[in-house]
Copies of this chain bind each other. A is one copy, B any other.
Amino acid sequence: MAEDSRARLDRLYREMRQRICLLDWPPGARLSETELAAEFGTSRTPIRRALARLEDEGLLQSLHGVGTLVTDVDREEMARTYALRMELAELVGRLSPAPVTPAILARLDGFRDRAERLTLQPDARHFAQLNMDFFDFGLSLTENAALRETSERLYYRTARIWLQQIAALDLAEECDTFRAEVDETARALRAGDPMAAALVRRAHISMSARRLAPGD
């Protein structure tokens, strides 16, 4: 059975979003629809469909006659987006929190393992990837679809600035902080307290914003 066109769109979209957020395509990079079409083995049409979504979400900007550019995120936009993300993180605990199942606790164990390994061998890119995966996990803690979509959109909107500024941060300390967040989240959820887990998340988003934009 051939791949559904909707599934292919989703695959292209996620792949490109990943490349943007992992800085394979850094802010300012110029993409070529023709080259992308060649790389993904299709014509420009499906590529343009995926690029359109990324443009609507603010990760790309297409300029006629120039090219498709990866956008940058300025400090002010970042600060405001983080302020909103903090509130949304808390809402994950307050609106339709999902029941804590054994499957969720098992996934948490997986994250604890990965976080542990990361502290032993810090690596910025692996951290960024782990952070994304942990974010996706966090979305499963609410049954409110609108809240999930909104949080996801905002997260990926600013996800890349961490990697952009990693040189100015202490990677080992970042890894430690992340492991602490996973541990605290596990503690809260094992206690059957999703609201506490949400507050842990909010606290870490807040601290992350301060580390990324000192002085604001």
Which residues on A are within 8 Å of B, measured CB to CB? 5, 49, 52-53, 56, 64, 77, 80-81, 83-84, 87, 91, 95-96, 143-147, 150, 153-154, 157
Other than A80-B96, A83-B96, A84-B150, give 16 A-B pairs with Cβ distance below 8 A: A5-B64, A53-B56, A56-B56, A77-B146, A80-B95, A80-B143, A80-B147, A83-B95, A83-B144, A84-B146, A87-B87, A87-B91, A87-B95, A146-B154, A150-B153, A150-B154
Interface majority SS (helix, strand, loop, mixed), chain A: helix
List chain B residues, Cβ under 8 A from A83.
Answer: 95-96, 144
Complex contacts, A145 vs chain B, CB 8 Å? 77, 80
Partner of A146, one of B5, B91, B147, B157: B157
Residue on B with the closest CB to A56?
A: B53
Neighbouring B residues of A147 by C-beta, 8 Å:
80, 84
User: Considering the chains assembled together, what is the distance between the CA atoms of A91 and B153 in angstroms?
Assistant: 18
Point out the residues of chain B lying under 8 angstroms from A154, CB to CB: 146, 150
What's the nearest-Cβ distance from chain B to residue A57, in Å?
A: 8
B residues less than 8 Å from A56 (CB atoms): 53, 56
15 contacting pairs across A/B (C-beta < 8 A): A77-B145, A80-B95, A80-B144, A80-B146, A80-B147, A81-B146, A83-B95, A83-B96, A83-B144, A84-B91, A84-B95, A84-B146, A84-B147, A87-B91, A146-B157
CA distance A53 to B95 in the complex (A): 27
Counting from the closest, the 9 A-B pairs by CB-CB distance are: A80-B144, A81-B146, A84-B146, A83-B95, A150-B150, A84-B147, A53-B56, A52-B52, A80-B146
- In the bound assembly, the distance between CA atoms of A147 and B157 in angstroms comes to 13
Within the assembled complex, what's the spacing in Å between the Cα atoms of A144 and B53? 22
Most buried by B among A80, A81, A91: A80
